[in-house]
């Protein structure tokens, strides 16, 4: 006997038109991480899906296991369409970028309540026209930490001493921050100790919280360069959405 359909909160990551009126959607749920579902007549059935299956929407779905890996979606209620994301291209590009990172780094079906909370907070903050640079930095930083890849920040990753100098060398392949003597003469990214302190303090805050941070341009610039290097070392390829993001923010 097939199990009864169950209700789940989800964020729509992506939708693909299938056949004449069906849809395949990729979703992030708290309990089971990234899932893919099949919505028969998803593009036509106003009663069952309305406009709920648009990317970045917060929804409540009723679903059950289907054939193969796809869930069967019965119906969905729209909780929030996050309309504010579509008011500016950079904001929309940032939403797409976060979704692509999650799809690249998470395995299907693994419960990730913290990452659900992170994406929810990030999209809500962007939809309220929050600071795009801050949103991206906090999202990348927390994602990397949650997945267990946070580099050493406030001490040397090779000899573990605390830093006395103001400019610190940083190399993800060597574990993160490096003291002058461990860094040697190699041309490495240099980051201010103040930036490393701010990043480290940001990691002590709730994962879904984006309001109330006050990071200056130096921290945002250096933090973004540092996280780009970390992500480059983790991702199998450069995210496609990065190019669109760079074009919209020039």
Q: Which two tokens stand for residue 16?
A: 């693909």
By CB under 5 A, tell whether 179 contacts Zn ion.
yes
Closer of 175 and 208 to Zn ion (Cβ): 175
> From the CB of 153, what's the least distance to Zn ion, in Å?
14
By CB under 5 A, tell whether 188 contacts Zn ion.
no
Candidate ranges 55-63, 93-101, 182-190, 229-237; the one touching Zn ion (CB under 5 A): 182-190
Candidate ranges 13-21, 87-95, 172-180, 186-194; the one touching Zn ion (CB under 5 A): 172-180
By CB under 5 A, tell whether 182 contacts Zn ion.
yes
Q: Which two tokens stand for residue 17?
A: 């038109």
Residues binding Zn ion: what is the number (CB under 5 A)? 5
> From the CB of 201, what's the least distance to Zn ion, in Å?
22
Closer of 178 and 226 to Zn ion (Cβ): 178
> From the CB of 110, what's the least distance to Zn ion, in Å?
35
> From the CB of 188, what's the least distance to Zn ion, in Å?
12
> Is 48 in contact with 157 (CB distance < 8 Å)?
no
Closer of 41 and 182 to Zn ion (Cβ): 182
Binders of Zn ion among residues 129 to 158 (CB under 5 A) are 156, 158
> From the CB of 180, what's the least distance to Zn ion, in Å?
8
DSSP the chain: -PPPPEEEEEEEEEEEEETTTEEEEEEEETTTEEEEEEETTTTT-TTTTTTTTSTT-EEEEEEEE-STTPEEEEEEEEEE--GGGGG-HHHHHHHHHHHHHHHHHSPBT---HHHHHHHHHHHHHHHTT--HHHHHHHHHHHHHHHTT-PPB-SB-TTT-PBP-SSEEEEEGGGTEEE-HHHHTT---EEEEHHHHHHHHHHTTS-TT--TT----HHHHHHHHHHHHHHHHHH-SS--HHHHHHHHHH-
> From the CB of 163, what's the least distance to Zn ion, in Å?
9
Closer of 104 and 182 to Zn ion (Cβ): 182
Candidate ranges 48-56, 87-95, 145-153, 159-167; the one touching Zn ion (CB under 5 A): 159-167
Most distant CA atoms of the chain, gap in Å = 67
Q: Applying CB under 5 A, which residues contact Zn ion?
A: 156, 158-159, 179, 182
């Amino acid at each position: 006997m097939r199990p009864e359909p169950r209700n789940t909160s989800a964020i729509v990551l992506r939708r693909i038109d299938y056949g004449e009126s069906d849809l395949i959607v990729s979703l992030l749920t708290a309990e089971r991480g990234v899932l893919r579902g099949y919505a028969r007549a998803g593009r036509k059935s106003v009663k069952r899906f309305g406009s709920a299956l648009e990317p970045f929407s917060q929804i409540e779905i009723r679903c059950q296991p289907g054939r193969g890996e796809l869930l069967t979606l019965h119906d969905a209620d729209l909780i929030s369409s996050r309309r504010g994301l579509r008011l500016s291209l950079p904001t929309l590009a940032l939403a797409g970028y976060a979704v692509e990172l999650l799809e690249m780094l998470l395995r299907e079906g693994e419960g990730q309540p913290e990452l659900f909370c992170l994406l929810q907070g990030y999209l809500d903050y962007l939809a309220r026209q929050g600071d795009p640079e801050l949103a991206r930095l906090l999202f990348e930083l927390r994602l990397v930490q949650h997945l267990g890849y946070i580099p050493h920040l406030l001490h040397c990753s090779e000899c573990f001493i605390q830093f006395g100098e103001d400019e610190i060398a940083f190399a993800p392949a060597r574990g993160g921050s490096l003291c002058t003597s461990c860094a040697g003469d190699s041309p490495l990214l240099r980051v201010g100790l103040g930036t490393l302190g701010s990043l480290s303090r940001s990691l002590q805050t709730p994962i879904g919280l984006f309001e109330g941070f006050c990071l200056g341009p130096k921290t945002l610039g250096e933090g973004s360069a540092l996280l780009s290097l970390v992500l480059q070392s983790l991702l199998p390829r450069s995210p496609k959405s990065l190019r669109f993001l760079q074009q919209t923010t020039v």
